[in-house]
Amino acid sequence: MDELARRQLASIAEVVAVTGAAGVPVWLRGGWAMDFQLGAATRPHVDVDWYCWREDADRLATLLLSRGWRFDPRMPVDRQLDLFVGDLEVSFAYLGRDRTGRPTVGAGPWEGTPLPAGMLDASPGRIGPLVVPTISVAAQIEFKQMYPVWMPERPRRPKDADDLARLRAGPGRAGPRTPRP
């Protein structure tokens, strides 16, 4: 595992410790969520992506900013919480709820759009001793499949096809790992 991945894992551990102590629920999403469900780092990651409830975002920001994290000035905080810890990019997409309590997109042009059923009900993922709440594998697959449909300007990337194959293979069967430099 390279130095960037080690620092990203340290940021994940910090988020889990801080939010756990404060009672702020968060869920890992994106590439690291896949890796935690598969039990190993499978490829390099540019950033670390999370979900949090929109109503918890200010408290979450206060907790992390007090630990030396800082806002990403390029991103509007009304859309999602984007932070830096050192030179690492970490984002928290906002969740809302519909009147039945089902998670929805919490901000932006898709605000109020229902998210996949059961998305937040996954068992925590694990890499080594680090246990992290993640979105469900089924939701990860749906997102990877649908992004090019929902956002035609964002075509499927080769890493997305590789991620889909890994997720479909399931935990413990992550398939070949992308070599790290």
Q: Is there a domain that residue 14 lies in? A: yes
Give bridge partners of residue 51 from the DSSP assignment: 27, 93
Answer yes or no: is 68 within a domain.
yes
Average pLDDT over residues 126-144: 91
130 lies in some domain: yes
The tokens describing 96, both together, are 């809302």
In a domain, 92, yes or no: yes
Q: What's the confidence (pLDDT) of residue 69?
A: 98
Mean pLDDT of 45-61: 97
Q: What angle do CA 145, 136, 103 make, to 5 degrees?
A: 90
The DSSP secondary-structure symbol of 55 reads: G
Q: Which residues pair with 90 in a beta bridge?
A: 48, 83
Domain contains 88: yes
Is beta strand 26-29 parallel, antiparallel or unpaired with respect to 48-53? antiparallel
Q: How many domains does the chain have?
A: 1
Pairing of strands 70-71, 125-127: unpaired
Band (pLDDT 50/70/90 cuts) for residue 163 is confident
Distance from the first to the final alpha carbon of the chain:
9
Residue 114 lies inside a defined structural domain of this protein: yes
Encoded amino acid at 159, one letter? K
pTM as predicted? 0.87
Q: Say if 15 falls within a structural domain.
A: yes
Let me know if residue 107 belongs to a domain. yes
Q: Please report, for residues 9, 92, 95, 149, the alpha-carbon distance to residue 57 in angstroms, rounded to integers and kept in the order given.
A: 21, 8, 10, 29
Q: What is the CATH number of the domain that holds 50?
A: 3.30.460.40
pLDDT tens sequence across 109-130: 889 999 999 999 999 999 999 9
Question: Which residue(s) pair with 80 in the sheet?
Answer: 93
The domain of 48 spans 3-136
